[in-house]
Amino acid sequence: MWTVVYIAPNRPIAEMLKELLEGAGILVMLRPIGIPHAGASGSVEILVSQSEVDEANEIIASSFGG
CATH of the domain at 31: 3.30.70.1530
What are φ and ψ of residue 16, in 5° steps? -65, -45
- State yes or no: pLDDT of 35 exceeds 80: no
Q: What residues contact residue 63 under an 8 Å CB cut-off, 6+ apart?
A: 17, 20
At residue 41, the pLDDT reads 78
The total of structural domains in the chain comes to: 1
pLDDT tens digits for range 40-58: 678 999 999 999 999 999 9
What is the distance between the alpha carbons of residues 39 and 41, in angstroms, rounded to a whole number? Answer: 5
Range of the domain at 35: 2-63
